[in-house]
Structure 1
């Protein structure tokens, strides 16, 4: 599966096992890990990348995507469809290799995957949760049309620091 974007050389696509090397290279970065859940390993090894791709991404290829820039996987973006009464909602998660920050790549990726999810995954709402000190991801979500829904005060602890968590969401556009 490929999603084309407006940035030349940027494709959102299904993961391949060959992506494990670049995935582990870029994911093994403290500046990425510090804004992710603790379950995201640090250091992040080739074995971690292979396990993630094989056990999570490949079986769920319609919702877990590599951010491919000029032929190399430089990040991860996924939408996890919720269940039960939340079954029409999806949870958005993402990260991008640090050397590509500030170039509009992640904003474009979020826009493209959001459009795809509304069209193909039968969702009416997509939400994301970010650490209150992650100004870059907050900007990405806002530029992609997501709106702040709420603040969960003192909801997370990362490296011994208690932080608020912000929830952003976007709704499927109404049919005209």
Structure 2
């Protein structure tokens, strides 16, 4: 009987491990420019290989569970210099996904990251089609971090018409993201 219980527990553990959350970011190119997306993990988080996205195309990238970091895109033929950032904390405080588009590094980047939002609900969104706007992160303590229970995000790149249906903004303070009240 003990052997059967052990096998049942091992089977349950294997099933639980197989059901781990899969985080994804789907990058959508809004124009005909080829870009490379570079990922920068926060300290202690896994490195993610850069991805190329052809103009007018989209690509979905798997992100490790609990990953915290950011990404930026570089247009073909341009120097590898960070611009607008997509920032995310998957499985953050309270097991939620926190994200924002940050203009802190280069608010003049008009060709890189534009908008981010959850795939299914498309709400809330961060960023904008035309910068500057009031829906992006500009200074270190802006109340612009968005939160969703979803683990699949969209990040648009370049110029063009966004597929986003709504632009509702729900923001939380940075201390909330870190679980500090």
Normalising by structure 2, report the TM-score: 0.34
More helix by share: 1
Q: Which has the larger radius of gyration?
A: 2
Normalising by structure 1, report the TM-score: 0.35
